[in-house]
Amino acid sequence: MPDTDGSIVFEGVEHAFGDRVVLRGVSLDIREHRVGIIGANGSGKSTLARMINALVLPQRGTVTVNGLDVRKNKRKVRRDVGFIFSDPDRQIIMPTVAEDIELSLSRIISDKAARKTRAREVLADFGLDGHADQPSHQLSGGQKQLLALAAVMVVGPSILVADEPTTMLDLRNSLMLRHTFADLSEQLVVLTHDLPMLDDFDRVIVLDDGLVVADDEPAPAIAFYRSLMGR
Ligand SMILES: Nc1ncnc2c1ncn2[C@@H]1O[C@H](COP(=O)(O)OP(=O)(O)OP(=O)(O)O)[C@@H](O)[C@H]1O
């Protein structure tokens, strides 16, 4: 496990793409175990999340993860933060399902046979047993999402950031993912429009047009968001 002080800190973060201002001065100190980020389409959630693993660097202000400024420590931060994209095709690389997991495992297990054995175990844990030798592109959208999640989790990041992880999952797999998340020891940041998923989270942050407009326990934060969207 990487060293961690379990913190994600945004200080005065501003960001624009061209003349489109996306984050307007975000300051957050995130130390809770499971944190949800919600907000309307285009409110800046993905941009904010991508800053946690240095995929996007803030134009103004600082982002510090486990005590490291993301601008100066991109490689270390990317090792500490596993990122799950909403589109799993972006992170599935290898031709077969098992090979994709084995590729991730190559960062932590040097023995090939041990990697193969471990990959099968991991696939079973994520409900993908029986698919090991299948071409990855033949998986359903939800199965691809599970594969992408498994490939990130096996290397043991200290923080997991998931951008809309349940969009393609059926009810059973969505519940499985919730249980997986509930059991995680890693710090978890989830961006989602699937509000019930956040019911037992420790904290929910609401973004609106690049600003944090609510930051609370799930029930009041979600109620605020519902009233904001209902206006
Ligand atoms: N790489 C980019 N280049 C240009 N504009 C971008 C880029 N990434 C995001 N944007 C714009 O920034 C704004 C915020 O996008 P972002 O993806 O952060 O929102 P979001 O809250 O995650 O939305 P959603 O719920 O729809 O995923 C949008 O208007 C989007 O078009």
Q: Which of 17, 50, 90 most suits a substitution to test ligand 1, by most atoms within 8 Å of the C-beta?
A: 17
Cβ-contact 53, 77 below 8 angstroms: yes
Residue 161 has pLDDT above 90, yes or no: yes
- Its ipTM equals 0.95
Cβ-contact 9, 32 below 8 angstroms: no
Q: Atom 18, ligand 1: which residue's CA is nearest?
A: 44
For residue 168, give the amino acid letter. Answer: M
Domains of the chain: 8-230 (3.40.50.300)
How many Cβ atoms are within 10 Å of 115's Cβ, its own excluded?
21
* The predicted structure's pLDDT at residue 100: 93
d(CA 157, CA 77): 10
Q: Is 230 helix (H, G, I), strand (E, B) or coil?
A: helix
**CA–centroid distance, residue 114 to ligand 1 (Å):** 41
Cβ-contact 80, 88 below 8 angstroms: no
Q: Is 151 helix (H, G, I), strand (E, B) or coil?
A: helix
Q: Which of 14, 19, 43 most suits a substitution to test ligand 1, by most atoms within 8 Å of the C-beta?
A: 43
**CA–centroid distance, residue 44 to ligand 1 (Å):** 6
**CA–centroid distance, residue 22 to ligand 1 (Å):** 7
Gyration radius of the chain's alpha carbons: 18
Using the atom order of ligand 1, give the atom closest to the CA of residue 43.
21
Using the atom order of ligand 1, give the atom closest to the CA of residue 56.
1
Q: Atom 16, ligand 1: which residue's CA is nearest?
A: 44
Strongest mean pLDDT among 103-107, 128-132, 180-184, 200-204: 200-204
Instruction: Give the predicted TM-score (pTM) of the model.
Output: 0.89
d(CA 32, CA 41): 25
